[in-house]
Amino acid sequence: MKKLEVSAIEEGTVIDQIANKSTFKVANILNIQKIEQVVLIGFNLSSKKLGKKGIIKIGGKLLTQEEVNKISLIAPDATVNIIKGSEVVKKFTVDIPDSIEEFMKCFNPNCVSNHQKILSRFHVINKNPIRIRCHYCERHMCVDDIELV
């Protein structure tokens, strides 16, 4: 039997194949400090695909589409597993959307979206590696520039 590096959960969501450096960013997206059920975070775990990876297991939680979209931007290789009765009942990879509204901040301090009361908007111009263009100022952002709000 395969030995688990992070304990299993009976019900909830497992986010696997998180780029190691993005693990705690994903935890922040999910606001885990406010979750009252079991949360397990693995970091520096071995991964054939990524070398090192992170994994987050959350009891009793299903991700919202907005959470999945956010995770896709900072951990594009992540997989989401829905667990019921200790079994994986659904598994999917996160998919980077073609456009993004509201939940990202343009990193250009002189962008109009950082000065007027408007929703930010972005276009994904390349998914691997991620390149995002601000709808307003047209600045490009890569994964390290992304600031979620």
Judged by the rule CB under 8 A, the positions of this chain that interact with another protein are: 108, 110-113, 115-118, 125-126, 131, 134-140
Per DSSP, the three-state class of 22 is: helix
Give kind and range of the element (H or E) at residue 71. Answer: helix 65-74
134 is in an annotated binding site: yes
Q: Known binder of ligand: residue 106?
A: yes
CB of 115 to another protein, least distance (A): 6
Residue 133: CB minimum distance to another protein, A: 8
Distance, in Å, from the CA atom of 101 to the CA atom of 86, rounded to the nearest integer, reads 35
CB of 102 to another protein, least distance (A): 15
**Measured distance CA(39)–CA(49) in Å, rounded:** 24
137 annotated as belonging to a binding site for a ligand: yes
Which one, 1 or 149, has the nearer CB to another protein? 149
The set of residues, in sequence order, having a beta carbon less than 8 Å from that of 27 and lying 6+ positions away, is 41, 56
